[in-house]
Amino acid sequence: GPPPHASLRGLLWLLGVWESQPAGEGLYPPGVAPFSFRETATFTHTGQPLLEYTFYASHVESGRPMHRETGFLKPAPAEANNHHNRIAIINAQNTGLVEVGEGQVDGESLTVTSHTLGRTTFNKQPHVTQIQRILRLTAQGELEHVVSMATETSPLQQHLHTTYRRRGN
């Protein structure tokens, strides 16, 4: 395929197919027991100035599909003294939630915080009011993903922690 667009230079560490190992850990909401899940994360590109990704979670024992997300990581256009380190996430979830957020890349670490959430009129309550994500490469070459969220009834707190290894490694 085509080479990655120059604006993706700071994001190449994400490319590939990643499998959770160990299982992802979920916390929250209050009253719900901590849970585990399996997740496959895929980051690809088409030559356009953005990454395409999927996060597909499944049940640890049965493999039954659970939470699913897909979207884009889109660097802001370069400006003076800005080498594409500002980044947007445009994300759709199978729960009916849509997330647009922004943040920055610092080395092999990316942080984005939602500024806009959309949902169906029949989404489950409590509604999510904020999502924050940290994606980073560890010193061991693993991908780490921490997702925090706030809802109408709870402050921003961690929901998910996943460590992935590159498929084939």
* Interface positions with ligand HEM (CB under 6 A): 26, 29, 32, 35, 37, 57, 66-67, 93, 97, 124, 128, 131, 147, 149, 151, 159-160
> How far is residue 49's CA from residue 72's CA, in Å, rounded to a whole number?
10
- How far apart are the C-alpha atoms of 54 and 39, rounded to whole Å? 10
d(CA 85, CA 152) in angstroms, rounded, equals 31
CB of 11 to ligand HEM, least distance (A): 19
Please, what is the minimum distance in Å from the beta carbon of residue 17 to ligand HEM?
17
Is the CB of 66 or the CB of 137 nearer to ligand HEM? Answer: 66
CB nearer to ligand HEM: pick between 82 and 120: 120
Least gap, CB of 22 to ligand HEM (angstroms): 14
Instruction: Tell me the residue number closest to ligand HEM, measured at CB.
Output: 67
- Least Cβ distance, residue 129 to ligand HEM (angstroms): 10
CA separation for the pair 106, 168 (Å, rounded): 27
Of the pair 57, 105, the CB lying nearest ligand HEM is at: 57
Residue with tokens 């943040």: 103
Least CB distance to ligand HEM at residue 86 (A): 21
Q: Which is nearer to ligand HEM, 13 or 37 (CB)?
A: 37
Q: Residue 143 or 160: which CB sits closer to ligand HEM?
A: 160
At 8, list the tokens: 């993706």
E-strand ranges in the chain read: 16-20, 24-26, 35-44, 51-58, 65-75, 86-93, 97-105, 109-119, 128-137, 143-151, 154-166
Exposure on the CB side of residue 124, measured as CA atoms within 13 A: 3
